[in-house]
Structure 1
Amino acid sequence: MDQMFSKFQPVALSLFRFITGLLLFQFGVAKLLKFPSGTMFEKVELFSLIGAAGTLELILGGLLMIGLFSRIVAFILAGEMAFAYFIGHFPKGFYPLLNNGSLAIALCFACLYLATSGPGPISVDAAMGKR
């Protein structure tokens, strides 16, 4: 069973990287482009702390989706998510379930994993030979 699943690990890593980037990218789109309308980010200004986070999520999330400069991009995004948790969620309470910080923590550690594991075989980095 282990051998059967392990042969899919490289492709699963690429898919994990893409989905993690997509999740971050959608927050950047919501914060900066106000899409979809009616989200909690309707009043975010570009030159604010949340606007800066949206810029990072939009640009670096896009780079993570295609797998370009994946390790450094993932490392920066892990730091951004840790910062988001401790600035935006932790002051509302200790428990992530109650302070709505669960996604920030999960994305932080997902990006930290991607920074250490690399982009996987289906990426621009792999195509350029930057493994």
Structure 2
Amino acid sequence: MTGLLFAAHGAQKILNFPAPPEWEVATFSMPWFAGMMELFGGALIVLGLFTRPVAFLLSGLMASAYFIAHAPQNFYPILSGR
């Protein structure tokens, strides 16, 4: 389930599916790299390949996303408006 959630968020950023994000994702930008990591990392977790290193990388991605995007707005991500 975790892998499917990661893949869905990556597909939204990279493939604009099922709905495009609220902002434009420029190629080789930080959200683009995050989307690629989510899309392919989620697929690897779903397939059960390289789960430990991929989970380690994706956990670091989520920690940095929290401190870059959510924490400056509000301590709780649900209240940050993103």
Q: Same fold (TM over 0.5)?
A: yes
Within 5 Å, give how 1:102-121 maps onto structure 2.
none
2:70 aligns with 89
Query: How many residues of Structure 1 are paired with residues of Structure 2 in the alignment?
Result: 82
CA gap 1:78/1:36 in 2 versus in 1, 3 angstroms: same
2:5 aligned with 1:23? yes
CA gap 1:38/1:54 in 2 versus in 1, 3 angstroms: closer
* C-alpha separation in 2, matches of 1:78 and 1:86: 13
CA RMSD of aligned residues (A): 1.6
TM-score (norm 2): 0.89
Name the aligned partner's letter for residue 57 of structure 2.
I
* C-alpha separation in 2, matches of 1:100 and 1:70: 31
* C-alpha separation in 1, matches of 2:50 and 2:76: 34
* Aligned partner of 2:60 among 79, 94, 101: 79
Within 5 Å, give how 1:38-57 maps onto structure 2.
38-41=20-23, 43-57=24-38
Which structure has the bigger radius of gyration? 1
Compare the two structures and name the one with the higher helix fraction: 1
Cα deviation for residue 100 of structure 1 reads: 5.2
SS at match of 2:71: helix
- Structure 1 residue runs of 4+, over 6 Å off? none
Q: Which runs of 5+ in 2 are unaligned?
A: none
Percent of aligned pairs with the same amino acid = 48
TM-score (norm 1): 0.58
